[in-house]
């Protein structure tokens, strides 16, 4: 009988997102399992093309986190452990060691936790052997990944600090009615037609006492596009504009 395997994937919420996509991770893990004759199991599903949550009929069973590796308790990891306790499987397949954890201690802790439940963790990348040498290679790869991430975060923060010292905008996406422009005062350029919408929203909210839902409905009726050019204006977008 073929061994049962679950897939775990992760993208990071660190300062700079990693160059990993969920579809890439899932595809590599699925191929890894097929090549070894593993049977995929799980009670969570993702779309193979988009990496978004899917239904059992259309998706691939996989436990996926959008979470920092600096936490041991993550929603999908917890779900995988719960599933392991209920249904039992032999292998948790992960694309690369830093998708499980960058910190060697966290990696070892998670591997031991799954092992206590009867599952070993295998990595698509790395080719680690179940030997003392393989454990050392895991530690070295995890340590290097942790160092590389720290250096990347440091570079990002240094760049933000330099922009802040120049009086430029450093908070990522520009607010509605502005566009990022390093040549403009404060690093933000006003978009006149959107600024007029903001003034209109302010007037409706402060002077006409309309609710956010009523304002959103009015803007949609008037076909006022959002910053993403959508014709449907949501309450959240109105509140951001306020």
pLDDT digits (tens, 9 = 90+) for 124-177: 998 877 777 767 777 777 777 676 766 766 776 776 677 667 666 667 678 888
d(CA 97, CA 145): 9
Tokens (6 digits) for 60: 């691939």
pLDDT given for residue 201 in this prediction: 92
d(CA 227, CA 118): 50
Digit-coded pLDDT (tens) for 188-222: 889 898 899 999 999 999 999 999 889 988 888 88
Q: How much is the pTM? A: 0.60
Going from the N-terminus, what domains does the chain have, and what CATH number goes with each? 4-150 (3.40.50.1390), 178-241 (no CATH)
Tokens (6 digits) for 196: 């007029």
pLDDT given for residue 225 in this prediction: 79
Question: Helix, strand, or coil here: 8?
Answer: strand
Q: What percent of the chain has pLDDT over 90?
A: 37
d(CA 67, CA 230): 28
State how beta strands 45-46 and 188-190 pair. Answer: unpaired
DSSP string, 105-169: HHHHHHHHHHHHTT-EEEESSS---SSHHHHHHHHHHHHHHHHHHHHHHHHHHHHHHHHHHTT--
| Whether residue 14 has pLDDT greater than 50 | no
């Amino acid at each position: 009988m073929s061994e049962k395997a679950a897939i775990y994937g992760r993208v990071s919420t660190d300062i700079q997102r990693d160059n990993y996509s969920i579809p890439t991770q899932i595809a590599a893990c699925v191929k890894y399992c097929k090549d070894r004759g593993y049977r995929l199991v799980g009670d969570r599903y993702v779309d193979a093309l988009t990496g978004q949550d899917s239904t059992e009929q259309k998706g691939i069973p996989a436990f996926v986190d959008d979470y920092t590796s600096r936490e041991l308790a993550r929603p999908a990891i917890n779900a995988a452990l719960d599933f392991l306790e209920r249904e039992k499987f032999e292998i948790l397949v992960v694309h690369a060691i830093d998708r499980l954890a960058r910190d060697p201690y966290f990696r070892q802790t998670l591997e031991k936790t799954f092992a206590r439940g009867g599952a070993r963790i295998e990595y698509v990348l790395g080719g680690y052997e179940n030997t003392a040498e393989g454990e050392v290679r895991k530690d070295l790869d995890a340590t290097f990944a942790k160092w590389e991430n720290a250096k990347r975060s440091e570079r990002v923060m240094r760049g933000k600090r330099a922009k802040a010292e120049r009086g430029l905008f450093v908070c990522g996406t520009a607010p509605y009615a502005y566009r990022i422009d390093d040549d403009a005062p404060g690093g933000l350029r006003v978009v006149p037609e959107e600024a007029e919408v903001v003034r209109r929203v302010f007037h409706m909210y402060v002077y006409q006492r309309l609710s956010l839902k009523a304002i959103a409905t009015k803007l949609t009726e008037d076909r006022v596009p959002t910053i993403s050019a959508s014709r449907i204006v949501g309450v959240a977008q109105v509140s951001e504009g306020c």
